[in-house]
Amino acid sequence: MPKKNNKIPLRKCIVTQEMKPKQALIRIVHNKDGEVFVDPSGKKNGRGAYISNSLEVVEKAEKSKVLDRHLQTNVDETVYQQLKQVIEGKDIE
């Protein structure tokens, strides 16, 4: 009987540059319509960036504007607020 190949997908946090399992990171998407939003499902269409599930990392990303560079657009302050809500375990509005 052949072995199943159960590989865990890894992604790199754009702030810390650490490789982590996809479920341990939060995905931010920039779609064709120019919208930037948090994607908790990790399946929406568009250019994605992954960030660690930590308030310190989100604050560092906000100060350094790393999301702006990675997604090639201006990221609104509300995206960072949504990230903080997801980390605190609240639903996104």
Question: Is 16's pLDDT higher than 90?
Answer: yes
Query: 81 — alpha (psi -120 to 50), left (phi > 0) or beta?
Result: alpha
Residue 1 pLDDT:
62
Q: Locate 43 and state its tokens.
A: 């399946």
Give the pLDDT of residue 13: 96
**Residue of 24, 78, 69, 77 lying closest to 51 (CA atoms):** 24
The answer as to whether 28 is a domain residue is yes
> Considering the domain boundaries, does residue 16 fall inside one?
yes
Q: What's the CA gap between 57 and 59, in Å, rounded?
A: 5
pLDDT tens sequence across 53-66: 999 999 999 999 99
Is residue 56, in this structure, part of any structural domain at all? yes
| Structure confidence at residue 8 (pLDDT) | 87
Question: What CATH number is attached to the domain comprising 35?
Answer: 3.30.1230.10
Domain presence at residue 59: yes
Enclosing domain of residue 20: 10-87
Which pLDDT belongs to residue 92?
66
Answer whether residue 5 is part of any domain: no
- Asked if 79 contacts 37 with a C-beta cutoff of 8 angstroms, the reply is yes
1 located within any domain? no
pLDDT in tens, 19-54: 999 999 999 999 999 999 999 888 899 999 999 999
Question: What pTM value is reported for the model?
Answer: 0.85
Count of domains for the chain: 1
Phi, psi dihedrals of residue 88, rounded to the nearest 5°: -75, -5
Residue 31 falls within a domain, yes or no?
yes
Q: What is the pLDDT of residue 5?
A: 74
